[in-house]
């Protein structure tokens, strides 16, 4: 970032290149992957401004300006889906920051290797399950016929609840499922960052008479700030991207729950699945991408203002 | 114990999890290799598709070979069908391919797609321009009119002259009815067109409780029957899902409609949106009562209607059906138990939706459209091929019990006959009366034709409104028809959303187009 321009920078660049060649080669596959799958298809964005026909193709179809964006912006469900998408994602950003960091700090305090591995693995496991599987696991808990939860409620003499037609509880069920599935992975990332912390800091601190809490807030946590900032900025960029699997599969697409489960992605598929209007779907996605991009720039600008060294770029 | 690894390492330059990164890079490298291969393949598909369609539309029917099939080079056609791959499919398909190879020098790659995935998968295949030849399409799944409008299918008008037997195999009113913007884009699987709707009931239960089915005049009359059966069979589900009227039309018949807006064909006025019409609201109230009485499965809010597990478990009493001739035999085969079918409406009149309820279309990406048409002609006129694909192989899947009559061997090959071609070529199955096809044809001939049949609306100016209306319909119809919520409350919300979605604009636009169309007629 603070690299100055010097004369002969090309020669220098080549020298750097030579020195870092093995490392650069290692990043090459990923760079190519990103280029092929994330950059090349971007040309297809033009479809959002066209009246797409199968026979005329992407290039040949007629331009129709912003017509494809209208259905989305004038939708009577606009408020509901925007509120849910932004609300849940904002909540996920907070939960996805606080809970994994707390767990990472706790893990950092565990001295027994076996205990650490057991905890990590159990928490990490849900990460490997797809939302479809998680949805059916939740279904076996919540379903009105033989759901474990309802059986338990009945045993306790309470009235069983048909969870799939009551919207309110899903405002809690969705974040719980989200945290359950993602916490292991995020914790691991923060914990990995902590592995690099030099132990001498703690020895020095304890010589100075610092207690555990002070060490955590003054030494351990600051080491996590850069990672916390990076992950949060990236998450903010995705604030308009609802996890489709979570919001579509988990509530089993039950209409009765839309008040608390309908998000931009589920609305788009509901509205467009039957008529298969690819252009309209692209328009909605394009809009999400643009807003996300703007938010990343904005967040990064704010971070840079406050502490330039932690900014992403 | 954690020990510091190096005295000089500074936190800012430390590289946590280096080995993980290496692993990641290696993994990414492997994935990339696979991805590149996939990418190349797609590119080839994309490149070859337009050229093949160009040549196809350019050459048109002039080159369609009328000569003997023996002169033709052998080709493989790809046909997408909606349904799981049946048992014994491989041997049956091998036999079907023997027939087609001999007669038209072509074999067919039958690609079965699960019903739940069908719409989405076909969208992707057509969107990617993948080359294939034939595809099953309809008004209710893999939308025929929408796909034809967007140029996914080949216009068949010119090709049909080369296959006269296909053209003659069904009446002209069908060919006219499947036209989209003046061209034919699909070959109807000729079957019942205006059959009445009704219910099927499990025969053993009907007999056990001595139910008088003739007492049923409308959906309302089912309530006491369901109450009686439910009391005796508490484990049984009465119906899988709600249908507020027999099919969403009302029992007096199908109102002519455009995009689900009812049209009064006496005054040619566009009326209410079907799903919010007063006649439907009556039905919704009844369904609420059914829901509260526990006639539906407990998980009706989330269950898939096409799911057959209740039938397989023998826990379902009744189902909504098309009460066409021969239905009882066909359904017994499908469900695995005997049913009684009771028609509850008059024969419906023939709508565009009915005429386009099952078709096979030729893809614009087909490299061999002439041969695809020849295959469609064969499957619509050749009894042997059709019956092989519907019933399987003699001895393995069925036994011949008469001249034109078979007995299915349970739990063997079976595929939906209505997807495959002209149903009047089918063998009589089990106890199906000899008259079944004559009866069906009589109904078809007698059925009135929808006066709106020739009208096709240009939806471009109201695309946004229709999309929003569809989203509202999908949200509320499932709630209302299954009685999940208080109908009055739900209707209020539904109507609000329809109004906000531009219901009025759609009505005005449709009215304008209908008026314009009327002025050209006579």
Q: Which residue of A has its CA nearest to B11?
A: A197
Percent of chain B's residues with pLDDT above 70 = 84
Contacts of B10 in chain A (CB under 8 A): 198
Give yes or no for residue B10 having a pLDDT over 50.
no
Residue to mutate among B10, B11, B242, with most A CBs inside 10 A, is B11
Is A269 a member of any domain? Answer: yes
pLDDT on residue A53? 86
Q: Name the residue with tokens 């606009």.
A: A78
Per CB-CB distance under 8 Å, the chain B contacts of A37 are 35
pLDDT average, residue stretch A2-10: 60
Q: Which of A43, A75, A76 to mutate to test the interface with B (most CBs of B within 10 A)?
A: A76
Q: pLDDT-derived band of residue B45, with 50, 70 and 90 as boundaries? A: very low
Residues 6+ apart with CB under 8 A from A220: A105, A108, A194, A197
* pLDDT score at A143: 87
Picking from A74, A199, A271, the nearest residue to B3 by CB comes out as: A199
How confident is residue A7, by pLDDT bands cut at 50, 70 and 90? low
Percent of chain A's residues with pLDDT above 90? 43
Max mean pLDDT among A8-17, A286-295, B195-204, B364-373 falls in B364-373
Angle between helix A21-34 and A9-19 (nearest 10): 90
In a domain, A207, yes or no: yes
Q: What is the pLDDT of residues A207-230, one digit of tens each?
A: 988 888 898 888 899 999 989 998
Asked if the Cβ–Cβ distance from B474 to A144 is below 8 Å, we say: no
CB contact under 8 A, A196 and B123: no
Please indicate whether, in this complex, the C-beta atoms of B4 and A144 are within 8 angstroms of each other: no
CB–CB of B476/B490 below 8 Å? yes
CB A27: neighbour CB atoms within 10 A?
14
Confidence grade of residue B479 (pLDDT, cut at 50, 70, 90): very high
Measured in angstroms, the CA of A280 and the nearest CA of chain B are apart by 9
Measure the CA–CA gap between B358 and B468, rounded to whole angstroms: 27
**So what's the pLDDT on residue A246?**
94
pLDDT digits (tens, 9 = 90+) for B379-406: 999 999 999 999 999 999 999 988 889 9
Which of B32, B467, B471 faces A33 most closely, judged by CB atoms? B32
Taking an 8 Å cut-off on Cβ atoms, the answer to whether A162 and B120 are in contact is no
Domain span at A81? 71-310
Structure token pair of residue B311 = 């039938």
pLDDT value at position A114?
92
Q: Is B485–A256 a contact, with Cβ atoms under 8 angstroms apart?
A: yes
Residue contact B15–A196, C-beta within 8 A: yes
pLDDT in tens, A227-246: 999 899 889 888 888 889 99
Give mean pLDDT, residues A172-195: 93
Q: What's the pLDDT band for B44 if we cut at 50, 70, 90?
A: very low
Residue A16 pLDDT > 90:
no
In chain A, which residues have their Cβ closer than 8 Å to the Cβ of B147? 54, 276
Query: Would you say residue A293 lies in a domain?
Result: yes
Q: Give the nearest partner residue to A53 out of B123, B150, B297, using CB atoms.
A: B150
Does the distance separating the beta carbons of B143 and A276 come in below 8 Å?
Answer: yes
Chain A residues lying within 8 Å of B17, measured CB to CB: 192, 195
| B183 vs A contacts (CB less than 8 Å) | none
CA dist., res. B511 & res. B517, Å (int): 10
Res. B229 pLDDT band, cuts 50 70 90: very high
pLDDT for B95 beyond 90: yes
For A260-280, what is the mean pLDDT? 86
- Number of domain units in chain A: 1
**Among A65-74, A137-146, B191-200, B316-325, whose mean pLDDT is lowest?**
B191-200
- DSSP output for A134-194: HHHHHHHHH-TTT-HHHHHHHHTTPPP--GGG-STTHHHHHHHHHHHHHHHHHHHHHHHHH
CB contact under 8 A, B119 and A273: yes
Question: Span B257-265, mean pLDDT?
Answer: 86
> Which positions ≥6 away from B304 have C-beta within 8 Å?
B116
Residue of A nearest to B146 (CA): A275
Task: Give the one of B465, B466, B471 whose C-beta lies nearest to A267's C-beta.
Answer: B471
Q: Is A169 left (phi over 0), alpha (psi -120 to 50) or beta?
A: alpha
Biggest CA pair distance of chain B: 97
Q: Is residue B260 over pLDDT 90? A: no
Q: What sign for the dihedral angle of Cα A14, A20, A21, A24?
A: negative
Band of the pLDDT at B246, cuts 50, 70, 90? low
Q: Which of A56, A111, A256 sits opposite B301 (nearest CB)?
A: A256
CA distances from residue A230 to A94, A226, A233, B18, B28 in whole angstroms, order as listed? 14, 6, 5, 18, 22
- Cβ <8 Å between B464 and A27: no
Q: Which of B11, B468, B472 sits opposite A223 (nearest CB)?
A: B11
- Contacting residues of B for A143, CB less than 8 Å apart: 298-299, 302
Measure CB to CB from residue A145 to each of B299, B468, B502 and give the nearest one: B299
A212 in any annotated domain: yes
Among all residues of chain A, which has the CA nearest to that of B3? A199
Architecture of the domain whose range is B54-193+353-446: 3-Layer(aba) Sandwich (3.40)
Give the model's pLDDT for residue B59. 39
Query: pLDDT of A22-42, one tens digit each?
Result: 888 999 999 999 999 989 988
**Domain CATH for A89:** 1.10.3720.10
A-B C-beta contacts closer than 8 Å: 161
pLDDT tens-digit map of B157-166:
999 999 999 9
- Are A26 and B25 an interchain contact pair (Cβ–Cβ within 8 Å)? yes
**CA B170 – CA A205 distance, rounded (Å):** 91
Band (pLDDT 50/70/90 cuts) for residue B238 is: very high
Instruction: Choose, out of B467, B477, B493, B499, the residue to mutate when testing the contact with A (most A CBs < 10 Å).
Output: B467
In the predicted model, what is the mean pLDDT of residues B276-296? 91
Q: For A47-97, what is each residue's pLDDT tens digit?
A: 899 988 888 888 888 898 888 898 888 899 999 999 999 999 999 999 999
Interface test mutation site (partner A, options B471, B498, B504, max chain A beta carbons within 10 A): B471
In a domain, A11, yes or no: no
A229-260 per-residue burial string, b: 16 or more CB within 10 A, e: under 16: bbbbbebbbbbbbbbebbbbbbbbbbbbbbeb
- In a domain? residue A1: no
**What's the pLDDT at A237?**
86
- Contact between A55 and B151 using a beta-carbon 8 Å cutoff: yes
For residue B140, the chain A residue with the least C-alpha distance is A274
**Which chain B residues contact residue A277 at CB under 8 A?**
463, 467
Q: Give contacts of A70 with chain B, Cβ < 8 Å.
A: 464
ipTM over 0.90: no
Residue B33: pLDDT over 50: no
A165–B147: do the CB atoms touch at under 8 Å? no
Lowest mean pLDDT among A188-192, B263-267, B362-366: B263-267
- Cβ-based contacts of A69 with chain B (< 8 Å): none
| Beta-bridge mates of residue B341 | B200
What number is the average pLDDT over the span B73-77?
Answer: 93
Instruction: Give residue A170's pLDDT.
Output: 95
Any domain includes A19: no
Are the C-beta atoms of residues B349 and B448 closer than 8 Å to each other? yes
B253 confidence band (pLDDT: 50, 70, 90)? low
Subunit contact B468:A278, Cβ cutoff 8 A: no
Which range has the worst mean pLDDT, A17-21, A185-189, B201-205, B476-480? A17-21
A166 has a pLDDT exceeding 80: yes
Dump pLDDT digits (tens) for A272-303: 877 778 888 889 989 988 988 999 899 889 88
Q: Give the rounded distance of the alpha carbon of B237 from its chain centre.
A: 25
Range with the poorest average pLDDT among B24-28, B207-211, B406-410: B24-28
Q: Higher-confidence residue: B350 or B388?
A: B388
The Cβ of residue B83 has, within 10 Å, a number of other Cβ atoms equal to 15
List Cβ neighbours of B517 (8 Å cut-off, separation of 6 or more): B454, B455
- Chain A residues with CB-CB distance to B155 below 8 A: none
Sort out which chain A residues have CB atoms less than 8 A from B9's CB and list them: 196, 198
- The reply to whether residue B9 touches residue A165, judged by beta carbons under 8 angstroms, is no
Q: How far is A70 from chain B (nearest CA, A)?
A: 7
- pLDDT (0 to 100) of residue B57: 39
Signed CA dihedral, A221, A227, A230, A236: sign only: negative
């Amino acid at each position: 970032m603070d690299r100055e321009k010097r004369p002969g920078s090309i020669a220098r660049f080549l020298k750097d290149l030579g020195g870092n060649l093995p490392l650069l080669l290692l990043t090459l596959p990923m760079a190519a992957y990103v280029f092929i799958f994330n950059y090349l298809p971007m040309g297809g964005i033009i479809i959002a401004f066209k009246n797409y026909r199968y026979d005329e193709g992407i290039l040949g179809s007629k331009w129709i300006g912003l017509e494809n964006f209208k259905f989305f912006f004038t939708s009577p469900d606009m408020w509901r889906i925007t509120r849910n998408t932004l609300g849940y994602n904002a909540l996920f950003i907070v939960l996805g920051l606080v809970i994994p960091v707390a767990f990472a700090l706790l893990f950092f305090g565990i001295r027994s290797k076996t205990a650490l591995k057991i905890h990590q693995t159990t928490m990490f496991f849900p990460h490997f399950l797809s939302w479809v599987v998680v949805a059916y696991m939740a279904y076996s808990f919540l379903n009105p016929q033989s759901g474990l939860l309802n059986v338990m409620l009945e045993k306790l003499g309470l009235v069983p609840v048909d969870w799939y037609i009551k919207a309110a509880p899903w405002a809690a069920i969705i974040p719980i499922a989200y945290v359950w599935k993602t916490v292991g992975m995020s914790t691991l990332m923060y914990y990995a960052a902590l592995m690099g912390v030099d132990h001498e800091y703690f020895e020095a601190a304890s010589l100075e008479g610092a207690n555990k809490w002070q060490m955590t807030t003054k030494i351990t946590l600051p080491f996590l700030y850069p990672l916390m900032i990076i992950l949060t900025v990236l998450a903010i960029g995705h604030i308009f991207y609802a996890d489709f699997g979570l919001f579509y599969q988990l509530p089993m697409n039950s209409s009765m729950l839309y008040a608390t489960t309908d998000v931009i992605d589920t609305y788009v598929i509901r509205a467009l699945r039957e008529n298969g209007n690819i252009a309209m779907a692209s328009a909605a996605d394009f809009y999400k991408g643009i807003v996300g991009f703007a938010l990343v720039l904005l967040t990064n600008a704010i971070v840079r203002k406050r502490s330039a060294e932690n900014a992403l770029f | 114990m954690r020990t510091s690894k190096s005295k000089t390492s500074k936190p800012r330059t430390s590289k946590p999890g280096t080995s993980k990164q290496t692993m990641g890079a290696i993994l990414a490298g492997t994935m990339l290799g696979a991805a590149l291969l996939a990418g190349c393949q797609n590119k080839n598909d994309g490149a070859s598709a337009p050229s093949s369609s160009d040549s196809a539309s350019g050459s048109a029917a002039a080159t369609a070979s009328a000569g003997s099939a023996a002169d033709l080079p052998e080709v493989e056609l790809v046909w997408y069908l909606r349904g799981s791959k049946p048992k014994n499919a491989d041997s049956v398909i091998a036999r079907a391919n023997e027939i087609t190879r001999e007669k038209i020098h072509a074999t067919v790659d039958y690609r079965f797609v699960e019903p739940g995935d069908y719409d989405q998968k076909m969208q992707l295949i057509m969107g990617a321009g993948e080359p294939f030849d034939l595809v099953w399409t309809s008004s209710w799944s893999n939308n025929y009119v929408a796909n034809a409008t967007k140029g996914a299918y080949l216009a068949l008008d010119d090709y049909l002259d080369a296959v006269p037997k296909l053209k003659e195999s069904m009446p002209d009113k069908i060919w006219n009815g499947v036209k989209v913007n003046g061209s034919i884009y699909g070959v109807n699987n000729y079957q019942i067109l205006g059959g009445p709707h009704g219910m099927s009931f499990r025969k053993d239960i009907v007999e056990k409780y001595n139910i008088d089915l003739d007492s049923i005049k409308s959906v309302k009359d089912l309530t006491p029957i369901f109450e009686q059966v439910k009391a005796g069979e508490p484990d049984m589900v009465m119906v899988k899902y709600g249908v507020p009227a027999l099919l969403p039309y009302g029992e007096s018949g199908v109102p002519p409609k455009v995009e689900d807006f009812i049209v009064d064909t006496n005054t040619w006025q566009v009326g209410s949106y079907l799903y919010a019409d007063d006649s439907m609201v009556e039905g919704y109230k009844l369904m609420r009562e059914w829901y509260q009485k526990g006639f539906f499965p407990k998980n009706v809010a989330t269950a898939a209607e096409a799911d057959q597990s209740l039938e397989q478990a023998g826990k379902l009493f009744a189902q909504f059906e098309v009460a066409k001739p021969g239905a009882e035999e066909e359904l017994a085969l499908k469900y695995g138990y005997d049913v009684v079918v009771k028609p509850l409406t008059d024969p419906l009149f023939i709508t565009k939706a009915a005429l386009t309820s099952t078709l096979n279309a030729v893809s614009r990406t087909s490299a061999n459209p002439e041969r695809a048409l020849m295959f469609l002609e064969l499957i619509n006129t050749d009894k042997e091929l059709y019956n092989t694909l519907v019933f399987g192989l003699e001895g393995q899947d069925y036994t011949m019990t008469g001249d034109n009559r078979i007995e299915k061997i349970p739990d063997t090959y079976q595929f939906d006959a209505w997807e495959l071609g002209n149903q009047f070529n089918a063998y009589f199955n089990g106890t199906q009366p000899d008259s079944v096809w004559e009866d069906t044809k009589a109904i078809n001939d007698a059925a009135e034709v929808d006066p709106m049949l020739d009208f096709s609306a240009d939806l471009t100016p109201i695309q946004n409104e229709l999309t929003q209306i569809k989203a509202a319909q999908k949200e509320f119809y499932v709630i209302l028809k299954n009685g999940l919520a208080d109908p009055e409350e739900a209707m209020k919300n539904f109507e609000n959303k329809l109004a906000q979605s531009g219901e009025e604009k759609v009505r005005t636009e449709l009215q304008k187009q209908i008026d314009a169309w009327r002025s050209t007629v006579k």
